[in-house]
Amino acid sequence: MSTDSHDLIIRVGGEGGEGIISTGDIITQAAARSGLQIFTFKTFPAEIKGGYAMYQVRLSGDPITSQGDGFNIFISFNEEAYQINKNLLKEGTVFMYDGPGGGFEPEIPPGVISYPVPLSQIAKEDLGSYRTKNMVAVGAITKLFGLSQKSVEEIVTNKFKKKGDEIVDINIRAMHAGISYVEKELEKKDSFKVASLEKQKDTIVLDGNEAIGFGALVAGCRFLSCYPITPATEVAIWLSKFLPKVNGTLVQAEDEIASIGNVLGAAYAGKKAMTSTSGPGMALMSELLGMATMAEIPCVIVNVQRGGPSTGLPTKHEQSDLFISVYGGHGDASRIVLACDDVTDCFYLTIEAFNLAEKYQIPVILLSDGALGMRKEAIKRPDLSKIKIVDREKYDPESRGDKPFLRYILNESNVSPMSIPGQEGGAYVATGIEHGEKGAPKYTPENHIMMSKKRFEKMKNVEDDLPETKRIGDDPADLGIISWGSTHGPTKEAIARARNQGLKVAGLFPKMIMPLPEKAISKFAKSVKKIMVPEINYQGQFAELIRSKMGIESVKYNIYGGLPFTPLEILNKIEEII
């Protein structure tokens, strides 16, 4: 939890396409340049123009694990954004809005400090371009809340540089118009100020999707096949720039079936390969995922989850693809499922995903989600010299002497060395059909029993491959919370707040979903009186999985409105059930 006095949450809301996201990005970058920790949170409509869009950034001198409970400062570009957020305008909050001339007259609740700034009017009448409205806002925000004007000018210039001097010029002018309006017409009545700390040298700022892309690169991924899908596309967009630089290949395939097919072909041919998608794409991939299991082809499938089922809520947040990740597809299919809990994790866990895929020759599904994929955090620059990379065990012709190569040889580890095309004596057929040790079709009962066991038992000790599952809080505790994925952040903050109030609460954050880290969960369950599993889906998918696999009952806490948990929601639930 952030106890820092610099903790400040700024929210910008308006219509999609009005520059809400750019405004938020500029504030975020300027704050990060001032040495602050940042945590962004966006929601936007599924359409390119129109609909409510929101960008929020939380700033602090201390590490931040969630988007917070509300905001300190709200900037509204239109009436809809005001209407959606007006109940959050509590005493002590600051409200800046487009007015007069913004087409709405907000009611200012008692204790709320308001700053009307005629954003539309200045943009239209003084600058002759309505599109500069957001830059007028950027100027006003800079002046009102003490962002470094120099930083903001640099960021704005860099942002529009590619579009030519004229565009840079009008945006800088708009920004200055915002600044002068505040100087001339407004008097600062609140005490919020973006702090300026010593700049952190070993900090990088990136979002979850970029962190997955970078993690894949460092893991040795040299092949990505993708199909555009919200909110996963940015993984491919980032890699499209950097994969060719490392002699890697990126293909945009005709659909997700082709994407996973391309990945299996590339992985069979010896490359570390990945695809990135979201729920609908993953549903299409399920048949070939089964083939990856059957033919024991190492590969990584990133699923940046969104709201479902079907097209669902493409731009909203949900953790509802646990079941499809764990169970999706036909037949008895073994696989590994991991879930990232923050941006740092997106980097490191992607590397683990490749390491496990290679070690066990198995598909690894890496779960992220829309909120995590799109949010930016300032994270500690990874020390690459400390990262361990695992490569698959390759067929060594000398190891077999005169005996022929058996691709699926049964041995103690249940992992058979894999040949790569080009290797003398290593030829075999990778097949989705049940096969014997050689790889040729074989349907005898004994063989199917042995091979099914092989495919499951090869990863029976996989729990020990990852660092021990993180546990925080009291031991023993009255309440233990097990959360997965990005729900980790608000849970962690809620636990810290509950403990400050004297409650005995603990948390466990498994990164491996399948196979379940049963040792860690079992030990945790014994140390707490009650278990709660908060997750963003209707069914309580993780709670169900824990119950079905381990017989452990928990209190389900489910929300499913398309937004992440706030720490306050979880804190309230802790108080209710403890």
Strand locations in 262-392 (E): 272-277, 299-305, 336-339, 363-369, 376-380
Give the footprint of other proteins on residues 293-312 (CB under 8 A): 295
Told to check if 66 binds other proteins by CB under 8 A, we report no
Asked if 212 contacts 302 with a C-beta cutoff of 8 angstroms, the reply is yes
Q: Which of 316, 372, 233 is CA-nearest to residue 561? A: 316
Residue in 125, 169, 183, 255 binding other proteins, rule: CB under 8 A: 255
Among residues 121 and 249, whose Cβ is nearest to other proteins? 249
Pairing verdict, β 52-60 and 37-43: antiparallel
Enumerate the H helices of 328-427 as residue ranges: 343-360, 370-374
CB of 150 to other proteins, least distance (A): 14
Give the one residue of 161, 189, 381, 519 binding other proteins; rule: CB under 8 A: 381
Kindly state the smallest distance separating residue 301's Cβ from other proteins, in Å. Answer: 14
- How deeply is 398 buried, as exposed, middle or buried, from its count of CB atoms within 10 A (0-12, 13-18, 19+)? exposed
258 or 543: CB nearest other proteins: 258
Q: Which of 163, 241, 453, 519 is the binder for other proteins (CB under 8 A)? A: 241
Contact 157, 172 (CB under 8 A): yes
Q: Which residues contact 237 (CB under 8 A, 6 or more apart)?
A: none
Q: What are phi and psi of 372, to 5 degrees?
A: -70, -40
27 touches other proteins (CB under 8 A)? no
Is residue 242 at the binding interface for other proteins, with CB under 8 A as the rule? yes
Nearest-approach distance from CB 331 to other proteins, in angstroms: 12
DSSP codes, 21-34: HHHHHHHHHHHHHT
CB of 152 to other proteins, least distance (A): 12
Least separation in angstroms between residue 431's CB and other proteins is: 4
Looking at 6, 11, 271, 455, which residue binds other proteins (CB under 8 A)?
271
**Of 440, 449, 550, 577, the one binding other proteins by CB under 8 A:** 440
The C-alpha atoms of residue 307 and residue 287 are separated, in whole angstroms, by 22
- Within 10 Å of residue 317's Cβ, how many Cβ atoms? 26
Select 43 or 209, whichever has its Cβ closest to other proteins.
Answer: 209
Choice between 38 and 559, CB closer to other proteins: 38
Q: Is 395 in the site for other proteins (CB under 8 A)?
A: no
Q: Is 333 in the site for other proteins (CB under 8 A)?
A: no
The answer to the question of residue 566 lying near other proteins (CB under 8 A) is no
Of 488, 494, 492, 552, which Cα lies nearest the Cα of 520? Answer: 552
Which lies closer to other proteins via its Cβ, residue 87 or residue 247?
A: 247
Compute the least distance from the CB of residue 357 to other proteins, in Å: 15
Residue with tokens 């007028």: 136
The residue range among 92-100, 308-316, 420-428, 507-515 that interacts with other proteins, by the rule CB under 8 A, is 420-428
Q: How far is the CB of 247 from other proteins (least distance, A)?
A: 5
389 counts as binding other proteins under rule CB under 8 A: no
From candidates 92, 331, 421, 476, binder to other proteins by CB under 8 A: 421
| Smaller CB separation from other proteins, 291 or 521 | 291
- 332 scored as a contact of other proteins (CB under 8 A): no
Buried b (16+ CB within 10 A) or exposed e, 528-550: beebbbbbbbeebbbbbbbeeee
Nearer Cβ to other proteins (348/428): 428
263 binds other proteins (CB under 8 A): yes
- Closest listed residue to residue 266, CA positions, set 396, 360, 357: 357
Stretch that binds other proteins, among 71-79, 142-150, 374-382, 518-526 (CB under 8 A): 374-382
Give the whole-angstrom CA distance, residue 243 versus residue 113: 49
Two tokens, residue 299: 């590969």
Cβ nearer to other proteins, comparing 227 with 565: 227
**Both tokens of residue 405?**
């190569």
Is 422 a residue that touches other proteins (CB under 8 A)? yes
Candidates 269, 389, 550, 577; binder of other proteins (CB under 8 A) is 269
Work out which of 167, 195, 251, 283 binds other proteins, going by CB under 8 A: 251
In the bound state with other proteins, the residue whose beta carbon lies nearer, of 259 and 319, is 259
CA distance 548 to 553: 9
- For residue 452, what are the CA distances in angstroms to 295, 296, 333, 435? 12, 12, 9, 11
Kindly tell me which of 129 and 148 has the beta carbon lying closer to other proteins.
148
Residue with tokens 């030829």: 427
Q: Which of residues 205-234 bind other proteins (CB under 8 A)?
A: 205-206, 210, 214, 217-218, 222-223, 225
DSSP string, 452-519: HHHHHHTTTTGGGGSPPPEEEE-SSEEEEEE--GGGHHHHHHHHHHHHHTT--EEEEE-SEEES--HH
* Residue 566 DSSP class: P
Nearest CA among 346, 342, 364, 345 for reference residue 354: 364
* Shortest Cβ 289–other proteins spacing (Å): 11
* Residue carrying the six token digits 């879930």: 339
Per CB under 8 A, does 441 bind other proteins?
yes
Helix, strand or coil for residue 86? helix
Q: Residues in contact with other proteins, total (CB under 8 A)?
A: 64
21 binds other proteins (CB under 8 A): no
Q: Which of 267, 301, 340, 362 binds other proteins (CB under 8 A)?
A: 267
| CB 32 to other proteins: min, Å | 4
Contact between 146 and other proteins (CB under 8 A)?
no
Binding to other proteins (CB under 8 A) within 463-522 occurs at none
Alpha carbon of 197 to those of 45, 64, 71, 126: distances in Å? 35, 16, 21, 36
Q: Is 239 among the residues that bind other proteins (CB under 8 A)?
A: no
Binding-site ranges for other proteins (CB under 8 A): 29, 32-33, 203-206, 210, 214, 217-218, 222-223, 225, 241-242, 244-247, 249, 251, 253-255, 257-271, 273, 287-288, 291, 295, 378, 381-382, 384, 421-433, 440-441
